[in-house]
Chains A and B, each alone.
Chain A
Amino acid sequence: MSSHAQRLEKCFSLVFPNLSSDQIRRATVHSVPEWDSLANINLICLLEEEFAITLEASDLENLSSFEQVLNHVESCHPKES
Chain B
Amino acid sequence: MRLSEALRVLNESRGIARVRRINLVCGFTALHLKTFLAAHLQSELTDTRIEIVTGVYGDIAGALSGVSAGSELVVLLEWPDLDPRLGFRRLGGWGPAHTPDIAASVRQQLKVLIEKISAVAESSSVTLGLPSTPLPPFTCAPGWILNADTLALRAELNEFALDLSRHSSVRVINSSLVSATGGESAFDFKSELQSGFPYSMSHASTLAATIARALVRRGPKKGLITDLDDTLWSGLLGEVGLDGVSWTLDRGAQIHGIYQQLLNGFASGGTLLAIASKNDSTLVRTALEQLDLVIDKENLYPVEVSWGAKSEAVRKILNCWNIGASDVVFVDDSPMELAEVNSAFPDMECVLFNAADYSYSYELFFKLQDLFGKLEISTEDQLRLPSIKRQELVREHRELVRSEDEFLEELNAVLTVRFTRNFAEARPLELVNKTNQFNLNGVRFDLANWKQLSKDPDRYLVLVDYKDKFGPLGVIAVATGSRSAGVFNMDAWVMSCRAFSRRIEYATMDAIFSNLLVDSIELQFTPTDRNSPFREYLGSVLGRNPDANIRVSKFDFYKICPPLHHTVNIHAECVLEAE
Binding site for B on A (CB under 8 A): 10-11, 14-15, 17, 38, 41-42, 45-46, 49-50, 56-57
Contacts and interface: CB of A to CB of B under 8 A. Distances in A.
B3 interface: yes
Given A41-B195, A42-B3, A57-B194, A14 B31 contact: no
Given A41-B195, A49-B2, A57-B194, A15 B31 contact: no
A45 B32 contact: yes
Contacts of B32: 42, 45
Contacts of A14: 4, 7-8, 11
Contacts of B3: 42, 45-46, 49
Given A14-B8, A50-B4, A45 B201 contact: yes
Interface in B2-24: 2-4, 7-8, 11, 14
Contacts of B14: 17
Contact of A17 (B4, B11, B35, B194): B11
Interface string B31-74: 11001000000000000000000000000000000000000000
B562 to A, nearest CB: 59
Main secondary structure on chain A at its contact with chain B?
A: helix
A42 B4 CA distance: 9
B569 to A, nearest CB: 60
Query: Lowest 10 A-B CB distances belong to which pairs?
Result: A14-B7, A17-B11, A45-B3, A57-B194, A46-B4, A14-B4, A49-B2, A49-B4, A41-B195, A46-B3
Contacts of B11: 14, 17
A42 B3 CA distance: 8
A42 B194 CA distance: 14
Interface string B238-277: 0000000000000000000000000000000000000000
Interface string B185-205: 000000000110000010000
Given A14-B11, A17-B14, A49-B3, 19 more contacts: A10-B4, A11-B4, A14-B4, A14-B7, A17-B11, A41-B31, A42-B3, A42-B7, A42-B32, A42-B35, A45-B3, A46-B3, A46-B4, A46-B7, A49-B2, A49-B4, A50-B4, A57-B194, A57-B195
A75 B361 CA distance: 48
Nearest to B195: A41
A38 B31 contact: yes
Nearest to B2: A49
Nearest to B6: A14
A57 B192 CA distance: 13
Interface of B: 2-4, 7-8, 11, 14, 31-32, 35, 194-195, 201
25 contacts: A10-B4, A11-B4, A14-B4, A14-B7, A14-B8, A14-B11, A17-B11, A38-B31, A41-B195, A42-B3, A42-B7, A42-B32, A42-B35, A45-B3, A45-B32, A45-B201, A46-B3, A46-B4, A46-B7, A49-B2, A49-B3, A49-B4, A56-B194, A57-B194, A57-B195
A3 B7 CA distance: 21
A50 B195 CA distance: 21
A41 B32 CA distance: 9
Interface centre among B4, B11, B32, B201 (most CB of A within 10 A): B4
A62 to B, nearest CB: 16
B188 to A, nearest CB: 11
A4 to B, nearest CB: 16
A11 B129 CA distance: 31
Nearest to A10: B4
Contacts of A50: 4
Interface centre among A15, A41, A50 (most CB of B within 10 A): A41
Nearest to A45: B3
A49 B2 CA distance: 8
Contacts of A56: 194
A46 to B, nearest CB: 6
Contacts of A42: 3, 7, 32, 35
A22 B35 CA distance: 26
Contacts of A11: 4
B194 A15 contact: no
Contacts of B4: 10-11, 14, 46, 49-50
Contacts of A46: 3-4, 7
A41 B11 CA distance: 17
Contacts of A38: 31
A41 B204 CA distance: 15
A15 B7 CA distance: 7
A53 to B, nearest CB: 15
A12 B7 CA distance: 11
A18 to B, nearest CB: 9
A38 B8 CA distance: 17
A14 B5 CA distance: 9
Contacts of A45: 3, 32, 201
Contacts of A10: 4
Nearest to B31: A41
A77 to B, nearest CB: 18
B169 to A, nearest CB: 32
B6 to A, nearest CB: 9
B35 to A, nearest CB: 8
A11 B4 CA distance: 7
A38 B87 CA distance: 22
A18 B182 CA distance: 33
Contacts of B2: 49
Nearest to A38: B31
Contacts of A49: 2-4
Contacts of B195: 41, 57
Nearest to B34: A38
A56 B201 CA distance: 16
B208 to A, nearest CB: 14
Nearest to A54: B190
A42 B8 CA distance: 13
Nearest to A57: B194
